[in-house]
Amino acid sequence: MKSGCFSDKKVSGKKGSFFSRLSSFKRSAGRVIPGASVPEQSPASGHSDAGHDSESVTYLVLTGVARSGTTVMTDILNESSEIVVFAEYPMHELVGKVDGIFDYHRLLTDYVERIQPEHQPEKPLDEKLVDEKPVDDGAGSSPEPVDSNPSEPASDQPHHIEALSSQKSLSDGVDTFRATRELAIQLKYRERAPTEELLKPILNHTFSLASGKKNPKIMGCKTPNYFDLANIDYIKDKLGNLKIIIMVRNPIDVVNSSIARRNKAMVGADVWPIRNINEECEETSRLFMDLRSVAERFDDDVFLIKYEDIQNSRDKISKGIVDFLGLEEPLRMDMFESIPESLRRYALSSEEQTVSHSWFGHIEAVWPTLDLTGPASSKRIEALSVFAPLVRCGDGQDMSSPSSRRFLLNGWSIVEPWGVWSDSEAAELVFSAQPGAGPSKVTVTLILSPCRMSDFAVRVWRNGEDLGWLTFSSEDEPGCLTLVRSEQVLPLGHLEAQNSMTLEIPLSYLEGYGLWNCRITFDIQNAVSLADNGHSADTRKLGVGLTHLAFS
């Protein structure tokens, strides 16, 4: 579902606008907050949360693989007077929209760019600003110029032009441009508006106003498949006190629920993107690996909830969430109705069930034994290793295929038509095997960074065991790489190599939850980007690129 945003036109009554989108919260949570009303405003401030201590608020991201119970958990949380959770609204977009309001120089520049061409300056506004001297505001020397395009998440940012409507000096035509340009010049040499001071109060007021709750302690958004580490880092950087609740469900039941939505979509009764069982299984496997990455990265701030425990262990979940979020009252957990066993697999044909079990049957066998509900302890994160793809002798994986994402845990860039680059100091592959039937080696076809320097080096680890430094096999085998155990760094940067090389990695496994698990880590040292070398604008720190995996 596409999120609402600010419109360039008036927002009142505008379908899809920010405020109309927020008003849908009351409709979506009507059964949770019957007759919700707008809080009374404080005569002194005009805000419902006047005097509210922003630092005491905890912000929340509620996520999980789609069809894992995030909606019912949203309803449970919204039953509490201490919690507000917006449905289907990515948290970084909400934060980014509010944060972007305060960059007045960019706002005014955007406005000038929209003026009719005959009123445009001979050269761009930013160029003219460079030539202008700072406007003396009587405060002595002007501060240093500030960045007019602060860091924000990678999403389209709206033009908040409606905020200019209060500027009486601005009108259409030449006068508008001149007045706007003068104001922009002044703001260019002043401190950026105090976003950090205003961001949280405005967010808090928005949550309170949309929900009808006065001064809630927990405010956040529910978004399935919300596993982008950069977006979560952005939220933590802006808000600080962030907690993450992740719903985890048996992947076979996730597939079943998604295919049920697909079946409705095929007769025009629903809208759902997944069209076949193989596509759904590939997507589900990849998303569970992304979920695992979030749990490992933000472990201290993550609470896991096993879907089945909503019905079977209500007291455990209620107490766990109360402690995790610092609530004063227990949660109501009697809203969830269990799904009869006879209906759990109704959506899949016999052929589709066979495909689903070939992907996730090994997980279902151990699912009842997994203790997943609770804070993301090392033991629970270890249990998430069951989601690693199952491999057998003779299996292969083209790393240019979207399905390759299920092997990639941390440190990788996007999948490209040729394969995938590492873009971090450590890049990890994960997979699992049936006990006694696991492959003994994996042959990795890879390329090395085209912009590596003389001190570029790669060290390879297997389940925490140092396998050695990556080096060229010999001058007689230019297409082969090998591993050499050495305390000394073996640089790769000064040697020439073919575009594509192979590396054989012997495998061993860690036994856990009825499976053999393996994690291969490429420890990349002194990687540089193409931008660093002046070759292109690509800022990724490229290390190794994978094109194919073969298990034997």
We report the CATH number of the domain holding residue 244 as: 3.40.50.300
What are the residue ranges of helices labelled H in 267-398?
277-297, 309-312, 314-325, 350-366, 378-383
Dump pLDDT digits (tens) for 392-418: 999 999 999 988 999 998 899 999 999
In a domain, 24, yes or no: no
Is the domain of 240 the same as that of 177?
no
pLDDT greater at residue 119 or residue 438: 438
Tokens of 71: 């909606």
Q: What is the mean pLDDT of residues 465-469?
A: 93
Is the domain of 483 the same as that of 382?
no
CATH assignment at residue 526: 2.60.120.260
Domains identified in the chain, total number: 3
Tokens of 24: 């849908």
| Domain end position, chosen among 337, 364, 386 | 386
| Domain end position, chosen among 193, 225, 249 | 193
Is the domain of 284 the same as that of 368?
yes
> pLDDT at residue 327 above 50?
yes
For residue 314, give Cα distances in angstroms to 43, 64, 373, 520: 42, 19, 11, 38
In a domain, 505, yes or no: yes
Is the domain of 394 the same as that of 374?
no
Is the domain of 339 the same as that of 453?
no
For residue 194, give Cα distances in angstroms to 147, 166, 183, 191: 14, 20, 18, 8
**pLDDT recorded at residue 112:** 53
In a domain, 408, yes or no: yes
In a domain, 448, yes or no: yes
> pLDDT at residue 221 above 90?
yes
> pLDDT at residue 6 above 50?
no
Is the domain of 468 the same as that of 546?
yes
> pLDDT at residue 128 above 60?
no
pLDDT greater at residue 370 or residue 487: 370
**pLDDT recorded at residue 178:** 58
CA pair distance 193, 203, nearest whole angstrom: 16
**pLDDT recorded at residue 164:** 34
**pLDDT recorded at residue 133:** 43
In a domain, 208, yes or no: no
Q: What is the mean pLDDT of residues 463-481?
A: 81
Is the domain of 180 the same as that of 290?
no
Dump pLDDT digits (tens) for 60-80: 999 999 999 999 999 999 999
The values of phi and psi at residue 107, to 5°, are: -60, -45
pLDDT band at 351 (very low <50, low <70, confident <90, very high): very high
**pLDDT recorded at residue 462:** 94
For residue 519, give Cα distances in angstroms to 248, 430, 432, 516, 525: 22, 5, 9, 10, 19
Q: What is the mean pLDDT of residues 221-242?
A: 93
Q: Which of 12-26, 99-113, 330-344, 418-432 has the lowest mean pLDDT?
A: 12-26
pLDDT band at 40 (very low <50, low <70, confident <90, very high): very low
Is the domain of 141 the same as that of 68?
no
Asked if 224 and 64 touch (Cβ cutoff 8 Å), the reply is yes
Select from 367, 414, 357, 345 the least CA-distant residue to 390: 357
pLDDT band at 449 (very low <50, low <70, confident <90, very high): confident
* Rounded percentage of the chain residues whose pLDDT exceeds 70: 68
pLDDT band at 505 (very low <50, low <70, confident <90, very high): very high
Is the domain of 393 the same as that of 346?
no
**pLDDT recorded at residue 272:** 87
pLDDT greater at residue 161 or residue 490: 490
> pLDDT at residue 3 above 70?
no
Count of CB atoms within 10 A of residue 116's CB?
11
In a domain, 35, yes or no: no
Is the domain of 378 the same as that of 509?
no
Burial pattern 176-189, b for ≥16 Cβ within 10 A else e, equals: bbebbbebbbbbbb
First to last CA, the chain: 43
Is the domain of 406 the same as that of 542?
yes
**pLDDT recorded at residue 493:** 64
Count of CB atoms within 10 A of residue 260's CB?
18
| Domain end position, chosen among 128, 159, 193 | 193
Is the domain of 468 the same as that of 530?
yes
**pLDDT recorded at residue 101:** 64
Q: Look up the domain containing 235 and give its range.
A: 49-90+216-386
